Amino acid sequence: MEQKTRWNLTYWLTAFVLLLTLQDWWQTSRTVEPVPYSEFEQALKDGRVAEVLVADKILTGKLKSPDPKGKTVIVATRVEPDLAARLSEYQVPYARVIESTWLRDLLSWVLPAVAFFAVWFFLFRKFAEKQGMGGFMTLGKSRAKVYVEKNTGVTFADVAGVDEAKAELVEIVDFLKNPQDYGRLGARIPKGVLLVGPPGTGKTLLAKAVAGEAGVPFFSISGSEFVEMFVGVGAARVRDLFEQARAQAPAIIFIDELDALGRARGVGGPIGGHDEREQTLNQLLTEMDGFDSSVGLIILAATNRPEILDPALLRAGRFDRQVLVDRPDKKGRLDILKVHAKKITLAPGVDLDQVAALTTGFSGADLANLVNEAALAATRRHAQAVELVDFTVAIERIVAGLEKKSRVLNPKERETVAYHEMGHALVALSLPGTDPVHKVSIIPRGIGALGYTLQRPTEDRFLMTRADLEHKIAVLLGGRAAEKLVFGEISTGAADDLARATDIARDMITRYGMDEDLGYIAFEAQRPRFLDVPELAQGGCRVAESTQARIDAAIRAIVMGVFERATAILETNRDVLERCAQELLRRETLDEADIRRLTADLKPAAPAR
């Protein structure tokens, strides 16, 4: 509507300018070049003038016949006082002409005013667009985009990997299509459904699928679009949004990024610094209390930070149902890959199950990006279809970063990196229950990675024992152990490994209670989880200094004990380490088959004490 109004205004301004141009051209075409008064008087004496029109300063004479130049009118710019007597003497009829200047005078002050207003209007519109206002008349209007069934292009068939969340929303769609079936036993549909989960897991996609399936008006708006620089605008937009939705019920309202609007009141910032946002939130709470879900009005919202939402939003009667949209498991990743693989040319022999196994922890958005990167990799090598090697390249690019071919290491650094990476790989291969090593490379990637060891999980893990966590720490410390064993000194290359190993050891002590001496006690506040609204943590561990010293000692004991075990594994397999490191230096990259061949005589790790 706004675009149409803008075009109409442009058409009117263009037509007005063209009209003024045509009028000026017409007047110019009628203008006759003045002649000297003597020539005009001579024409009177010769009897060639048929009629004279007398204005204030101009004489216009109509000739009886055209002169040699083809003129039928002559004009003089001089009016004599005795002109009337002389015209009577020559027996030439004359008439007085009164010039009308009101239009010219009107335009002389109207046109500058119009030009000034046009410039002011243009500049204000530009400022308003940059500020996101869209003009004073639209400040309190809702900016929700309205979709119907044919517009979104997304259905539940396009959503995979989140079957439980999809089932919840299928029920919502069924209610909107058949409300009488759900109300026959006195049940009512939830007023609001809150979709929570990490970024990229498909919350907005699920909402669009609801719009594509329901066939009812679907109002979509972001939480940040309610808040403006003017106080009261957000609350007015909330009221306008609900008025529009009620007028078109049954309908669905979808608020994306709800945390931008629904942050807990009275937390963070100085007093009075969040009045506009809090007024907007209060209006939303009031509107959610003031409508009856039986009319067919349902609110969907999405957020990846539910722990900061105001508790009043999450109580029963507002967002009755909270649906977790989590990262997919292996089966879910496979289903998502199948959906996105339909959009590319896939080679017949590609096993997407292997790709799903390599992508533990990937969200739906990550998998969509992975498929696109694999297609780009196949395009770069001028292939006819996307193969498994392209998916491997894409995973390496996403996980480890882009290859830095311009970063040239000196021979000493290359050797150190080779032994470091093979230390990771051999420790991982020696310990039971660790993920298989898929690839080892000393090609620099990303911002600071001089090499990498890629492991491929065989299954998703949801519980881990102390032994499992110690094995993860051992693999992380395998690089530092190899450097110390071979070169007798250590480098800065293990900085990230040490930080991750320390974090795991700290969690073992302070969160999981895995130290017998300290007891089964959690010394650290529970980290925020989805579908929870925990109180804000006021700091780290709240323990006595003596207990903190024991915690630090327990963490150090875990890390150093595991480091000694990793060193022992590499000492036992020193010949395998040397062979693999030299082969890695020669080829720069070893795949799973190469590693299996080179480590055929690898001795397993001794049982932990």
Catalytic residues: 421
Tell me the helices (H) and strands (E) count for the chain, helix number first: 21, 13
Residue 296 labelled as part of a binding site: no
Four-residue CA torsion sign, 267, 271, 277, 280: positive
Residue 192 labelled as part of a binding site: no
Tracing tokens 């694999």 back to the chain, one arrives at 374
Distances from the Cα of 23 to the Cαs of 28, 187, 194, 587, 588, in angstroms?
9, 73, 64, 83, 81
Token pair listed for 435: 């993920």
Residue 424 labelled as part of a binding site: yes
Q: What span, in angstroms and rounded, lies between the C-alpha atoms of 96 and 79?
A: 12
Q: What span, in angstroms and rounded, lies between the C-alpha atoms of 126 and 414?
A: 56
Distances from the Cα of 324 to the Cαs of 79, 94, 159, 265, in angstroms?
95, 96, 15, 24
Cβ–Cβ under 8 Å, residues 494 and 478: no
Residue 458 labelled as part of a binding site: no
Residue 204 labelled as part of a binding site: yes
Beta bridge partners of 195: 302, 323
Cβ–Cβ under 8 Å, residues 548 and 541: yes
Q: Which of 96, 99, 49, 98 is CA-nearest to residue 75? A: 49
Residue 420 labelled as part of a binding site: yes
Residue 7 C-beta-side C-alpha neighbours within 13 Å: 4
Residue 199 labelled as part of a binding site: yes
Centre a 10 Å sphere on the Cβ of residue 34 and count the other Cβ atoms it contains.
Answer: 15
- φ, ψ of residue 448 to 5 degrees: the values are -130, 0
CB burial class (10 A; 0-12, 13-18, 19+) of residue 603?
exposed
Which DSSP symbol is given to 95? Answer: E
Using only C-alpha atoms, what is the Rg of the chain? 41
Q: What span, in angstroms and rounded, lies between the C-alpha atoms of 220 and 2?
A: 18
Residue 134 labelled as part of a binding site: no
Q: What span, in angstroms and rounded, lies between the C-alpha atoms of 225 and 240?
A: 13
Given strand 73-76, what is the order of strands in its sheet?
A: 73-76, 59-63, 49-54, 94-96
Residue 379 labelled as part of a binding site: no
Q: What span, in angstroms and rounded, lies between the C-alpha atoms of 143 and 192?
A: 20
Judged by DSSP in three states, 274 sits in coil
Q: Would you list which residues are annotated within the binding site for Zn(2+)?
A: 420, 424, 497
Q: Would you list which residues are annotated within the binding site for ATP?
A: 197-204
